[in-house]
Structures are given as C-alpha cells and as structure tokens.
Amino acid sequence: MAQNFDLVVIGAGPGGYVAAIRGAQLGLKVACIEREHLGGICLNWGCIPTKAMLRSAEVYHLMHRAKEFGLKADSIGYDLDAVVKRSRGVAKQLSGGIGHLFKKNKVTVIMGEAKLAGKGRVTVKTDKGTEEITAKSIVLATGARARELPGLEPDGKLVWNYKHALVPPHMPKKLLVIGSGAIGIEFASFFNTLGAKTTVVEVMDRVLPVEDAEISAFAKKQFVKQGMTIMEKAAVKKLDRKGDIVTAHIEVGGKTETHDFDTVISAVGIVGNTEGLGLEEAGIKVDRTHVITDEYCRTGVEGVYAIGDLAGAPWLAHKASHEGVMVAELIAGGHPHAIKPGSIAGCTYCHPQIASVGLTEAKAKEQGLDIKVGRFPFMGNGKAIALGEPEGMIKTIFDAKTGELLGAHMVGAEVTELIQGYVIGRQLETTEQDLMETVFPHPTLSEMMHESVLDAYGRAIHF
Ligand SMILES: Cc1cc2nc3c(=O)[nH]c(=O)nc-3n(C[C@H](O)[C@H](O)[C@H](O)COP(=O)(O)OP(=O)(O)OC[C@H]3O[C@@H](n4cnc5c(N)ncnc54)[C@H](O)[C@@H]3O)c2cc1C
C-alpha cells in the first residue's frame, strides 16, 4: 500500500533538505527522496568541498609569506592527494550530518529516483523496486548540473567539469579555465596558487561579469599579479585532444589563436535537472532548463512547488535553503514573505575574495536612479594592515534621494564574511543615516563598511 505524507520533497540538497526539516518542525508528516547523496551538490560537490580545497591553497599561500610575519617555514610543499582527501572528508562529514538532522526531525528518507505520477502521487525507483507514495504537497528540489558546450565536453582526463576538478587525477601544469563566473574563478585561484600556469577565458568583456565593473577590474589586477593570464571578450571554439595535450582554439579580437594546455576546466554554467521528473505530463512549465515559478515557488499546478537551482537564478545554496523554508511555511498554512532576489548576496571565495549584494553602479544608473557612491580601500584600515591584507576595497551605492542602500560590493580578505552586515541593512531597509550612526568595533575589517558609507556622503575619516 502507498505510504501517505503531508509533504514529499524530491532532492536532498540545501533546498530540499531544509524544506523537509522545516516542514517536519511545523508538524507535517514529511518524506525526502534522494537518488544520490544527502546534501546535494552543495555539500558533496559544490560549496563545501571547494571551500575546503581553497583553504588548503590559502594556508599554502600564507606559508610562503611566513618571513613577512617574522616566521620561518622551510621546505614548503603540498600533497594534492591529501588536500583532496581532506576536502572529501569535510564533505562526507557534513553530508552525514544531514542524515542525523533528518532522524532528529523524523523526516522519512527514501533513497531512490523520484518521478511525478499524477495528482499527489510520486513513484520512486529504489534498489528494491518501484514504490508509490502519496502527498498533499510536493516540492521539487532536484537541483542542477554542469552545462556542457558542444566540442568542449569534459572527459575527466584532459577536460574536467567541477566534479573532476574536485578529485583531480593530476596536478595541472598548464591550465585553461573556460568561464570566469564564481565556479571558474575559484578553481583558477586554487590551481594557480598551487603553481599551475593558469589562463582564464571569458566571453564577456570582463572577469566575474555579474559583479560591479570596478570590483571586476580590481580583482583582475590581482589575478594578473598572481601570474594568471586573463583573456576577455574571448571564446573557446574548439578543443583538439591529442595524447596529453589539449589545443584550444580561442577566438579573440576577430582572430583565432591556438594555445596548448595539459588540463582544461569547463565552467560555463549549469542546467537544471528537469529530465525524467514527469514535468510535462504534470503540466509544469519549463523555460529552457528551469521550472517556471511565481515568487512563492508555486509551479501553477496545485500542490507542486519548485525551489533552488531547479527554479532558476541565482544559483546559490542560501537562495535554495531560504526558498525551502518559505515553501514549507506556506504549505503548513503560514504567510511567509516572498524572497527579494535583490537582497541575496553572492560570494566568490577566490583570492582575493569577492562579495556583493544589490545593484551594481551600472545597473543603478541604467534604472535612472540618482546615486551616491562611497569607496574605502583596505589600505586605510588598521586591521587589514595588521593582517597583512592591504589589497581590497569596499564600495557602497545609495539612492541620493531616499538614502536607501542600493548595493554593496567588496573585494579583499574575508569580505564573504562581511557582506552579511549590508544584507541585514537592506533587509531592515536601513538608510545611510542608520549606518553612519552605527558604532563598528575596532580594530575590525568591518570598520571599512562604515567608512565606505561615510565616504558616499563626503565624511570618511581615515582616507
Ligand atoms: C563547484 C561549485 C561550487 C559552488 N559554491 C557555492 C558557494 O560557495 N555558495 C553557494 O551559495 N553556492 C555554491 N554553489 C551552488 C550550490 O551548490 C547550489 O546552488 C545548491 O546546491 C542548489 O541547491 P539545490 O537544493 O537546489 O540543488 P542540489 O544541491 O543540486 O540538490 C539536488 C538534489 O536532488 C537530487 N535529485 C535530482 N533528481 C532527483 C530525482 N529525480 N529523484 C531524487 N533525487 C533527485 C540530486 O541527487 C541532488 O542531491 C556551488 C556549485 C558548484 C558546482
């Protein structure tokens, strides 16, 4: 006989597992179906293992700077297998943690591949066969996977996607990274720090193209200083693979150049996992590879919701989780607020780090807004100097008429931790006055957040 649930969640990534736990907390009888691993891409092949690897690269970089800090470090080296082993261990630990959270919250876990099978019905293909379950509400949270471009398909040996790059079969000597979004730049940063001669090719006119242009330019300068080659307005058209060498045909400035590499990482975006879910039969609309939803993640088919990467940009774990909480509350009869996309911060954990929220200066101008812009360099901050991290800046953008904080953009050490201060400011609809009157602790990097706001109004003290 079919098991009955109030809520069935398909996919146990940061969208799905959070929706399942919140639903159970609100008294719903919940099942979560997962075909591969609890924690989804984020915990197993995304956010967490990349940060573990980047931490190894950061420590390695600092070891090379030991003398600057009055320290001695001889015979500095690395063991790539050990770096990867640590990263996989961190991922495993956190994925296991989701199992404990499910148990604690009495969420039924079903390991298998799920498909919609009519109103309120889901079939699950498990090791033991196919079972059917019924649910009043269904949340689709099947996530996304790496986009593959024709001719640039990963093979796991010479050409990698993000999964291959997280368990690299060798250390690249000459690396090409295609795409300079967060994923591409994080891998470029990791392998470049460990000594790979790294080239990044970006089809848009600048690296990290979604960031504020000034931040992109600042970051590019740092990447070049670190030895990376950056090719902008350039497109990889073809990869010829012969023996241990990949010849990349790169179109740039109206000409095609060929360059040889021993490794290529393709980081050209993601596509939603929409296949095999029975979406079409259920009447659920898909735009390219993403399920179309309204601001409450409703698909238009009664009782079926879509969240996280499956439901489109921004492709971020915290967006997925927040949507998970929101739909669970909606399903349980609550009245949650819809998500404000403009208040979701984006973070890139390269060296130097990048973080931003809200409008870029260009976007604010495009919208015809009268703006005030503040900037503060890391060089003017005591804590940054004490840390030995004088490279970076914080930029803030305000509506000149209302004082609304329209956007904040940062590059430099630990900015991925700082950005949340501005996110809270935007959530609470803070004005420039509130921020200027806030007392920031000393000595902290956060003081630069204050100074950037002060600068927007001609009042910066330390610069
Ligand atoms: C290399 C990399 C680094 C990243 N770094 C960051 C970062 O630093 N910060 C950040 O915010 N985001 C980061 N992301 C993005 C982040 O991983 C995703 O936004 C997030 O995982 C999306 O969560 P989700 O729950 O929507 O989907 P996913 O995490 O993709 O989970 C979906 C789950 O559904 C399962 N599934 C799919 N189909 C079925 C089915 N039919 N039946 C049962 N189960 C199914 C899958 O196995 C998967 O476990 C990174 C991504 C990558 C690739």
Per-residue pLDDT tens digits for 269-327: 999 999 999 999 999 999 999 999 999 999 999 999 999 999 999 999 999 999 999 99
Atom from ligand 1 closest to the CA of residue 162 = 1
Atom from ligand 1 closest to the CA of residue 315 = 19
Alpha-carbon Rg for the chain in angstroms: 23
pLDDT computed for residue 2 by the predictor: 73
Ligand 1 mutation target, pool 17, 44, 47, 84, most atoms within 8 A of CB = 47
Provide the annotated active-site residues: 442
CATH of 3-145+271-341, one of 3.30.470.20, 3.40.50.10800, 3.50.50.60, 3.40.50.1000: 3.50.50.60
Which residue has the least CA distance to atom 8 on ligand 1?
Answer: 47
In CATH, what is the architecture of 352-456?
2-Layer Sandwich (3.30)
Going from the Cα of 44 to the center of ligand 1, the distance in angstroms, rounded, reads: 9
pLDDT computed for residue 1 by the predictor: 63
pLDDT tens-digit profile of 24-62?
999 999 999 999 999 999 999 999 999 999 999 999 999
Distance CA 375, CA 453 (A): 8
Q: Whole-model pTM? A: 0.97
Going from the Cα of 182 to the center of ligand 1, the distance in angstroms, rounded, reads: 15
**Topology of domain 159-268, CATH:** FAD/NAD(P)-binding domain (3.50.50)
Which residue has the least CA distance to atom 6 on ligand 1?
Answer: 47
* Torsion angle of C-alpha atoms 423, 426, 431, 433, degrees rounded to 10: -20
Ligand 1 mutation target, pool 22, 38, 41, most atoms within 8 A of CB = 41
Domain ranges of the chain: 3-145+271-341, 159-268, 352-456
* Torsion angle of C-alpha atoms 301, 304, 307, 313, degrees rounded to 10: -10
Which residue has the least CA distance to atom 53 on ligand 1?
Answer: 46
Query: β-pairing, 245-252 with 129-140?
Result: unpaired
Question: Which residues of the chain register pLDDT less than 70?
Answer: 1
Residue 304, both tokens: 């079926």
pLDDT computed for residue 115 by the predictor: 98
Whether 317 lines ligand 1, by a CB cut-off of 6 Å, is yes
Q: What are phi and psi of 450, to 5 degrees?
A: -65, -50
Going from the Cα of 47 to the center of ligand 1, the distance in angstroms, rounded, reads: 9
Which residue has the least CA distance to atom 39 on ligand 1?
Answer: 142
Whether 350 lines ligand 1, by a CB cut-off of 6 Å, is no
Distance of CA 117 to CAs 15, 114, 124, 261, Å?
22, 9, 10, 47
Going from the Cα of 181 to the center of ligand 1, the distance in angstroms, rounded, reads: 16
Q: Same CATH topology for 3-145+271-341 and 352-456?
A: no
Going from the Cα of 314 to the center of ligand 1, the distance in angstroms, rounded, reads: 12
Which residue has the least CA distance to atom 3 on ligand 1?
Answer: 46
Whether 246 lines ligand 1, by a CB cut-off of 6 Å, is no
Whether 32 lines ligand 1, by a CB cut-off of 6 Å, is no
Q: Which residues pair with 354 in a beta bridge?
A: 348, 411
